Structure 1
């Protein structure tokens, strides 16, 4: 509708590049106008390794999304994730200078600026400042301190940082496609806004998103993010294992994984059989489903073991 704000999001994944365009109405409702995706080229483990190939994919998917939406966009929001993204806990303390000792929005902004004022390596940049809670004169667990009274305000935050080189490569691709980057958003933060309820965040939840080349993770407790990170390992590694063990192409292995894969061996019956397609017009052969699970389970166990190690650091 006329007057609605148009937004475009882009996810440059290891296997697929996806673009979505939506319109936000004046009352805050989002309407999706188009969704397009293409196979990714020039991307490995969520990072760009060939700018020219990635640029071609980005231009293709954006052009198709714009055509479907009937709109020409000028800027894009990029999702980002992977092992290079790290959450750093920090605090910011400020004094309340107003005569009535009432905390204003400006005081919150000052405390967040203090929390961000630490020495950051030159190869890192800040993506988000995620607020956990506030303290007023030692009183902990305050979610919204505006209009409360106090002398000392302390903010507890999670500073999400990322590799500057990886971010700059994605910006360069976007700029060469004729657009500007509106902002970069951590994929796990966006995931949690869609998947997790307020109650789940409050009671404590870990959200894991297993992609093709990377697995992202974010942990919530008391309604706030307490950890974010990921590992450069995902479903593509499982596909490669199946392709190697069964001597199949990656495309065939991916199909077998998606149609018949199971990651927990004990839950698979010994009687369950699957059909493995053959080449050259030969008929498919039968294989116990449990044998396929024995290929998948170790790699999935490795992914979760590495995630657990990250959480325990």
Structure 2
């Protein structure tokens, strides 16, 4: 099993593992974001999840029959584990193995979207490896929470007009604009998407990642037992994973948890929010973990 990764900062500093979301390469953790975290005293590690970027692709497992599984879920409200070639548990174990390879006993863990789900799973299944948890624009996996806007969910499933590099870049830009809040996307979008598409293009891997999300059970009850300090970050303008999902995640966690609601942020972390988010991650990493905080006592802050 091979995972592509890189690092920022000094190995002598506390390690911070960054876990990216569905169909998204580690480059989405922008270098400026990673450098800002390193300047705050972290040894920052970002990596490509399995089936994306330069990490191992699981093409030998074949394309998943996704539509059949969606239909099953709609009829019976659940998925069989056998319906997916791998699970979020497997993906969280990838993160643990990466820490093993780097000889890191435990790290602060920050995940975005699916990466937040992986981070939560890691905190549940391997709590001794997680010093603190930051879950950004993510959810508990409860089927009772509101779904993202239908037009957005369908839009990100659309394929490029053709297989040319230009069409792939155009399609990637369209998808980022769909999930970002209005006015959130900057002038460097085309340069970023061009770089990502040249590095790797592997859409079938994203389909297997979707199945990994779908087959995992609701994490709500398990989250009540995690002991480490936790930070939940969510944009009020998130159209793909609604704010209610972030609020539910914060309410589910039984330990020391804070909810940071960012005004003007969609399902993308962009430059204007870097200072706020990195400062919140640092603050969370310095809080001692404790159990027994009631859901109604969750600290909530709203930032413009």
Q: Normalising by structure 1, report the TM-score.
A: 0.28
Structure whose CA Rg is larger? 1
Higher helix share: 2
Of structures 1 and 2, the one scoring higher in RCO (CA 8 A, sep 6+) is: 2
Higher strand share: 1
Q: Normalising by structure 2, report the TM-score.
A: 0.29
